[in-house]
A and B are shown apart, each in its own frame.
Chain A
Amino acid sequence: MKRVFPILAIVTAVLLIYAMHQALVVAPTERTMGDVQRIFYYHVPSAWTAFILFSINFVASIIYLARRNAKADMIALTTAEVGVVFCTVVLVTGPIWARPVWGIWWTWDLRLTLTLVLWLIYVSYLILRKFSSGGQTPLLAAVLAVFGALDVPLVYFSIWFFRTQHPQPVIGGGGSIDPRMLHVLLINWLAFSCFAALVCWSRYRFEVMRREVDELQALGSMMEARSPR
């Protein structure tokens, strides 16, 4: 296992550089938006990655609720954190893209708003984890994750209807995509997925170590209490 990580890291780095090159140089320039449209190759894969991570978090949370499995809890924590990172990228690149193209920083665009709400829910999840004391943290967090997941379809429908009543500009445009652009998009998605997997793996290992050290520290202070010097 120890060998795999550095190899994967190198592969991922190569993929990321290749993907960036594809996005910035190789991909055809968009007709109406120009070069700014290339933000799309970072914005969309980040969104997909974030949603996948949050989905994994949801599954891990349910497994924790059903089985109280510590590994499930660690996976939940990991995917939530890395998911928030990717989600932040989406929320930052979105407005940067919108401003030059549509003249506005923000709009209650369905996808962007859904991303914002997910980000809010998961930041509150992380704060809950940070502020709650030891034993109950995994349970409370898992419960919150379930509530968050139940919320998602409701958020989707409420925003969708809000937009049909109050028409807003659509960011990212609909319609078909040029196959060459799709190709670059998928390459970037692959690269970022590998990157996300690597980061999650690191975070997971860190959490394992963190918990072992905490246990040792607790044991240590117990032993000291028992045999005072």
Chain B
Amino acid sequence: MTGLTRATLIKDLRLEWRSKDAINSMLFFSLLVVVIFSFSFDPTAEESRQIAGGLVWVAFLFAAVVALNQTWARELRNQVLDAYRVSPASPNSLFLAKAFGNFIFVTVLEALMTPLFIVFYNLRTLGPAWQLPIVAMLGTWALVVNGTFFAAMSLRTRSREIMLPLLLFPISIPALLAMVEATTSILTGEYSAKFWIVLLVAYDLMFTMASLMLFGSVLHAE
């Protein structure tokens, strides 16, 4: 299983790196989002620590949706999914490869957007900053694992691009709340982010398992 996952993942990364199509447009989109948010919400340094958590994650969410929407585009264009369906390969290898690929893309986007946010909002962490990467990874995985799964579900629907966020956002609410609250508590140093981190871990575990258990059915549906 890991062999196929790794192979698919490397193939996807290599294709992306060569064409740089998706990553460039996503990068620019993320930059735009940061700038527009900075115009719209222009708080003092003290206030910005309170709201930055929310702003950052909403921006990441939009960037993630743009990335997720093209998850299966290549497979769809070349009828690869049909090949997967008849092959004996485990569908989960494909799912994990896609999910990891998306995770890497979105993490790259976040890594590029974060310095911009720090600059525009003059951010400085008052709490334990080492927790921030943990929150970022857990939160990103939460969005990506469900996003990859719902992207596959949306393939069989009209209005594919809008279907994905429509399905993803309600289900992601507890994770989003956790990400935002964890980030805010780390930035302000007022509370401990521990509960939120535990919640994110529980969320990630639960939905990763659910996706792995049900992806096969979705792939083989009609």
Tell me if chains A and B make direct contact, with any CB pair below 8 A: yes
Q: Which of B178-198 contact A (CB under 8 A)?
A: 178, 181, 191, 195-196
Tell me whether B171 and A131 are in contact (CB under 8 A).
no
Give the chain B neighbours of A139 by CB distance below 8 A.
Answer: 217-218, 221-222
Give the chain A neighbours of B203 by CB distance below 8 A.
Answer: 154
Does B10 sit within 8 A of A, measured CB to CB? no
Tell me whether A150 and B170 are in contact (CB under 8 A).
no
- Point out the residue from A65, A131, A134, A151 that lies within 8 Å of B163, measured CB to CB: A131
**Which residue in chain A gives the minimum CB-CB distance to B146?**
A147
Does A170 sit within 8 A of B, measured CB to CB? no
**Which residue in chain B gives the minimum CB-CB distance to A119?**
B170
- How large, as a class, is the contact surface on chain B? 20 to 34
A140 touching B206 in the complex, CB below 8 Å, given contacts A65-B217, A121-B171: no
Stretch of B1-9, B41-49, B111-119, B154-162 that contacts chain A:
B154-162
Please count the residue pairs between chain A and chain B whose beta carbons lie under 8 angstroms apart in the complex.
90
Does B32 sit within 8 A of A, measured CB to CB? no
- Point out the residue from B199, B217, B222 that lies within 8 Å of A135, measured CB to CB: B222
A143 touching B167 in the complex, CB below 8 Å, given contacts A154-B206, A162-B181: no
A38 to chain B, nearest CB (A): 32
Does A217 sit within 8 A of B, measured CB to CB? no
Q: Which of A108-137 contact B (CB under 8 A)?
A: 117, 120-121, 123-124, 127-128, 131-136
Contact with A along B133-173 (1 / 0, CB 8 A): 00000000000001000000100111100010011011101
A14 to chain B, nearest CB (A): 38
Tell me whether B159 and A144 are in contact (CB under 8 A).
no
Tell me whether A154 and B174 are in contact (CB under 8 A).
yes
Tell me whether A151 and B217 are in contact (CB under 8 A).
no
**Which residue in chain A gives the minimum CB-CB distance to B167?**
A124
- Point out the residue from B170, B199, B214, B221 that lies within 8 Å of A146, measured CB to CB: B214
Q: Which of A152-167 contact B (CB under 8 A)?
A: 154-155, 157-159, 161-162, 165
A158 touching B222 in the complex, CB below 8 Å, given contacts A117-B170, A133-B156, A146-B214: no
Tell me whether A128 and B157 are in contact (CB under 8 A).
yes
Tell me whether B199 and A157 are in contact (CB under 8 A).
yes
Does A148 sit within 8 A of B, measured CB to CB? yes
A133 to B195 Cα, complex, angstroms: 41
Most chain A beta-carbon neighbours within 10 Å: one of B173, B175, B195: B173
Does B51 sit within 8 A of A, measured CB to CB? no
B9 to chain A, nearest CB (A): 24
Tell me whether B170 and A120 are in contact (CB under 8 A).
yes
Does B72 sit within 8 A of A, measured CB to CB? no
Give the chain A neighbours of B206 by CB distance below 8 A.
Answer: 150, 154
Contact with A along B53-86 (1 / 0, CB 8 A): 0000000000000000000000000000000000
A20 to chain B, nearest CB (A): 33
Contact with A along B196-222 (1 / 0, CB 8 A): 100100110011001000100110011
Give the chain A neighbours of B146 by CB distance below 8 A.
Answer: 147
Known pairs A148-B171, A154-B202; list 20 more (Cβ under 8 Å). A117-B173, A120-B173, A121-B170, A121-B171, A124-B167, A127-B166, A135-B221, A135-B222, A136-B222, A139-B221, A140-B157, A140-B221, A143-B218, A146-B210, A147-B207, A154-B203, A155-B173, A158-B178, A159-B174, A162-B177
B interface residue numbers (CB < 8 A to A) = 146, 153, 156-159, 163, 166-167, 169-171, 173-175, 177-178, 181, 191, 195-196, 199, 202-203, 206-207, 210, 214, 217-218, 221-222
A-B contact pairs, 18 of them (CB 8 A): A120-B169, A120-B173, A124-B167, A131-B163, A132-B157, A132-B158, A139-B222, A143-B153, A144-B153, A147-B210, A151-B170, A151-B171, A154-B175, A154-B199, A157-B174, A158-B177, A158-B199, A159-B177
